[in-house]
Every structure is written in C-alpha cells, then in structure tokens.
Amino acid sequence: MRGGVARNAVALGSAGLVVLSMAACQQSQPAEESAQTDLKIVEQVQIDENGAEVKPEEGAEPADPAGDGKAKCPPVSIAMAGALNGPDAALGINIKNGVQLAIDKHNAANPGCQVQLKPFDTEGDPQKATAIAPQIVDDQYTIGLVGPAFSGETKATGGVFNQAGLVAVSASATNPTLSQNGWRTFFRGLANDDVQGPAVANYMKNSLGYQKVCVVDDSTDYGLGLSTVVRDTLGPVADPSCNISVKKGDKDFSAAVTQVNGVNPDAVFYGGYYSEAAPLVQQLKDGGFEGTFVSADGTKDPQFVSQAGEAAKDAILSCPCGPATGAFAEEYQQKFNTEAGTYSAEGYDLGTILVKGIDSGAITRPALLEFVRNYNGQGVARKYQWSPTGELTTNLIWIFKVQ
C-alpha cells in the first residue's frame, strides 16, 4: 500500500505514467470473503492506463521458490517491514504471509540452505518505520528486505536502505515519486499511482460514463498522491465544488457527506485506506447518497466489506495487485486457513525472487541487489523485470466490485 507526496509533487498527470500500483487480481481468483456479510470482492476486468480492457495473458509457469533442492548457503535472512498491527494491519499481514509461504517452501526443499524471515512491525507509521530501519540494516545476516509496505514509511526510510546497499522490494508502496529519489536499492513490485490513477479515472469517465465525480483524499502520501492524479485525469468530470480532504483516523465524515449531497455526483472516488473508507461509505449511504463509491488498493481488503457491511454493496475498487491463482492460492489457503488477500501474491513473488537469488549464490547484499536488478521472470501476479529506477517494465490495473 501506498503513500505519496505533496499535491504539487504528485500532479504529474497522465503524461508521467510510468509504473503500477498494488495488489490482488484475476479472473480465476476466488472472491475475497467478508466475515459479517455475504458480500464479496469479485474481480471484474483488467485495464490499461486508458481504462480499456486488457485480456489476461496465458503466461508462463510462475517461478518456484523450492528451486532444484540443491541450494547451499550460510545462515542468511530476509526482513519484512510493514503494518502487522493497527487499523491497516490486514495489508501488511497479507504480504508477510506471502513471503513466509515462499521461504517455507524454499526451506522445505533445500536442507542445505535455510533462509530466515525476520518480520518488523511498523504499524504503517513512518516514524515507527524510521526507528526500525536501523535495526534491519544493522543485522549482518539480513541481505534483503520485502517492504516497507506503505508509501509514507518507504519515503521515510528509503535513504537508509539505499545507504546500506540493502535491496528493498516493496509489494505495495505505490506513490510515484518513490522511484525518483535516486535510490539504487528500491524496487516496486506493482504499478504505481501514475498508472492506477489514470486507469481508474479513465475507467470511470470512459467505460462507466460518469459525468460528475467527487474526489476525496485522506491527506496521506498515498491517498493524496493517488487522488491528485485521479482529479487531473478526470478533468472537468471532477467537480471542483466537492474536492474534499479528510484525515487519516477520522470517523465522522458528516461535513464531507453534506458537501457530496450538495453536488449529487454520479460517483465518489476515495483515495485512502479501508479503515476510513468503511465508515465513509456507511455515512454516505445513510445520508442519502445514491451514486457509486469508488476506491483503490488501499480499500481493497475484506475488512472494508466486513466493516462497511451492506453499505459496501456495488463499490468499485481498483488495484495494481496481481492474481492469487492456481497452486499458490491453494497452498496459501491451506497454510494460513484464509484466502490470499491484497498483496499476498506480490509478497510471495518478491520472496521467491529473493530466495532464487540466494540459491544462485547471491549471498551478500551487493550480490543480491545485482540479482534483483537483472531479474526477468514470471510470478504468480505478473512478470517481474525492472527499469533502472526500480519501476516494473509492464503494468496493468484490475477492477473489482463488491457484490
């Protein structure tokens, strides 16, 4: 998940579309279930930056973290950093579980190379992440990192990991500016918001035919960054009289509801996380809003549905996240007794890439960094190959619907 930057730094518009954003998609993926309602998040269509449908490729077999079972390595570890507690913990846990599954499969098949996963709970807080980053880089056994998960904490710590030469592959941080800091060690495992923002905005405008949209952001790096690109791409469809900013942690959205109802839009787009999206959509529906609630990867989690209940019905959610399909989906369900969620596939794929590097003999930070920089292979979620700035070379977005 995500994060971003100040409004003037993110208003790149559709001209700067470089890379993707965040997490679980595909036609054969099982729908994510809710604990408190029969509603589920169901995949609909894969789209490009213009909002046009792109049929899923029949791709090659995804890389297997087990390898050939002959790997030899000294004791090494991979760190994972993200929210494992707090209101947005579901997203971090999804990633951690994905990485854990990849490492466990590797270790079971390779008795001569046992890799340890070391998770670090940032609670999604940039300040907490800043305190944790030195612990990660000071551990001589840690040669790779999956994370940080959110854009704000990635922005706060990227320089530390870069200085230490520690490869940091994020499964979910989508703020476009993260790849513009000159960091040699940052790699984004999904499309950024310069792809997701135009894709979902063009989908609303061109495919769904919305003529008036209120855009709400949560003032975070992620939410503001994404919403700014959505506003820019929507152009006059984004009604300037309901350009609304709320705050992370807010629970009372009565002022926003009043502002939305004064405009009577076709849709409300919310850039933020599920912990605020759920009460927002509830209060919008209770206040008489009859349009469509649209959000993105920060909201695309079963917790949104379970917390919002029936108010979530017909919500549309975009995500740069990849599909949980085939053997991965089955193994994840069996191991964790729950379906793979948003960013689970990305966590698994990135964990797989790091253990494949270790198996190849890349057992130092410089060697593993070089392995990732030159990697080109198929994963569960997508193909992984990076540009010199750490952006994926190909990016698509998925559209989901709560039904």
Distance CA 328, CA 119 (A): 21
64: number of CA atoms within 13 Å, CB side?
11
Distance CA 380, CA 344 (A): 10
Domain with CATH 3.40.50.2300 in the chain: 7-57+193-322, 76-191+323-388
Distance CA 113, CA 290 (A): 57
pLDDT tier at 128 (50, 70, 90 boundaries)? very high
pLDDT of residue 236: 98
pLDDT tier at 137 (50, 70, 90 boundaries)? very high
Give me the chain's average pLDDT, please.
90
Produce one character per residue of 7-35: b if its CB has 16 or more CB atoms within 10 Å, e if not: eebbebbbebbbbbbbbbbbeebebbebe
CA distances from 53 to 56, 200, 271 (A): 9, 11, 22
Looking at residue 288, its amino acid is: G
pLDDT tier at 43 (50, 70, 90 boundaries)? confident
Residue 185: pLDDT above 80? yes
CB neighbours of residue 5 within 10 Å: 23
Mean pLDDT of 40-45: 90
Q: Name beta bridge partners: 33.
A: 40
What is the secondary structure of 234-245 as a DSSP string? HGGGEEEEEEEE
Q: If we measure between CA atoms, which residue out of 90, 99, 98 comes closest to residue 34? A: 90
Looking at residue 389, its amino acid is: T
Residue 402: pLDDT above 60? yes
Mean pLDDT of 213-219: 97
Residue 37: pLDDT above 80? no
* pLDDT tens-digit series, residues 247-278: 999 999 999 999 999 999 999 999 999 999 99
DSSP assignment letter at 392: B
Q: If we measure between CA atoms, which residue out of 220, 253, 266, 20 comes closest to residue 125? A: 220
Tracing tokens 């760190």 back to the chain, one arrives at 79
CA-based angle 81:128:120, to the nearest 5? 25
pLDDT tier at 16 (50, 70, 90 boundaries)? very low
295: alpha, beta or left, given left = phi > 0 and alpha = psi -120 to 50? beta
Q: Which CATH class is domain 7-57+193-322?
A: alpha beta
Check: CB of residue 148 under 8 Å from CB of residue 352.
no
Q: If we measure between CA atoms, which residue out of 129, 19, 127 comes closest to residue 79? A: 129
Distance CA 368, CA 365 (A): 5
Distance CA 90, CA 23 (A): 13
Q: Which CATH class is domain 76-191+323-388?
A: alpha beta
Pick the residue with more confidence: 37 or 349?
Answer: 349
SS3 of 39, please?
A: coil
Q: If we measure between CA atoms, which residue out of 93, 75, 83, 79 comes closest to residue 164? A: 79
